[in-house]
Amino acid sequence: MPTLIAFFAHPDDEVLHAGGTLARAAAEGHRVVLVSATDGEMGPVREDQVRLRELASSGAALGAARVTTLGYADSGHGKDLYPDPPDRRRFVRAPHEEAAEKLAAILREERADLLLTHDAGGGYGHRDHVHAHEVALRAARRAGGVRTLTAAIPLTAPIRLLRLTSLLTSPLALLRGSRTFRTALLRVEHTPRARITHAVDARRYASHKQAALAAHASQVRGPGRSAGAFRALVNMRTPLFAALLGREWWTEVERG
């Protein structure tokens, strides 16, 4: 069966952008491989490698056959770009061709048929997401023109989500109260319907996507700005989760 590679910037991006698509692909017999550009850490590599262990657990929930990383550090999001940790480079500082060759080697090794990644704007402009998109396109060309799809969000999706959260009570109240959640919805780069080439209905696999998100326990239970929204999503009833996040959209990149 065809092999699908999902390349995203950080552990947990694979769930939020593609969890349903990956779970459905794995259930239908495709080989699914997760590649994270970073280990999700801002500082030196932690001995327990908690973010990578969570990524492996997320991959297992989605049915991934392999989970790996390019080994870069998280670049952070905000106006300040901090110095590199002493043991590795921040992803956004990695030259495009260097990172692209690392990813291309995985694409060639896996004989990948399809590559999924971030859109050109990085969803809401995160520097690592944008860099991952650029690296992915170069890697796909290096590996022989692998078909590439980028994450898309139609204009109606976040509007529908906001309308639902305005009508329903807890735990969706936590979503409305999350500053990061609201900011992401307001800043997200919407994709014109005419540019969307693939719509994936993965509502049957919502429990897999929800379990994969729960696997990122440090982000769900921690003090991060998205933690409240993540907890609400993990704790809500699966049918509601499926209604909110059970569909995913993609734009195919023209091969040149």
SS3 of 189-227? CCECHHHCCEEEECHHHHHHHHHHHHHCHHHHHCCCCCH
- pLDDT score of 9 more than 80: yes
**What's the rounded mean pLDDT across residues 197-211?**
98
Record the tokens describing residue 92, joined without a space: 């956004």
- pLDDT score of 174 more than 60: no
CA separation (Å) from 179 to 37, 102, 169, 183, 227?
A: 26, 35, 17, 6, 10
Output 164 or 73, whichever has higher pLDDT: 73
Maximum Cα–Cα distance for the chain, whole Å?
Answer: 50
Q: First CA to last CA across the chain, in angstroms?
A: 25
* pLDDT at 169 (0 to 100): 47
pLDDT-based confidence at residue 226 (cuts at 50, 70, 90): confident
Residues 131-148 pLDDT 10s: 999 999 999 999 999 999
Lowest mean pLDDT among 98-102, 142-146, 152-156: 152-156
What pTM, to 2 d.p., does this model score?
0.91
pLDDT-based confidence at residue 173 (cuts at 50, 70, 90): low
- pLDDT score of 217 more than 80: yes
**What's the rounded mean pLDDT across residues 160-178?**
55
* Concatenated DSSP letters of 57-93: HHHHHHT-SEEEEEEEBP--SSS--PPPPTTS-BGGG
- pLDDT score of 14 more than 60: yes
* pLDDT at 188 (0 to 100): 72
Q: Which residues in 80-97 are b (16+ Cβ under 10 Å) and which e?
A: eeeeeeeebbbbbebeee
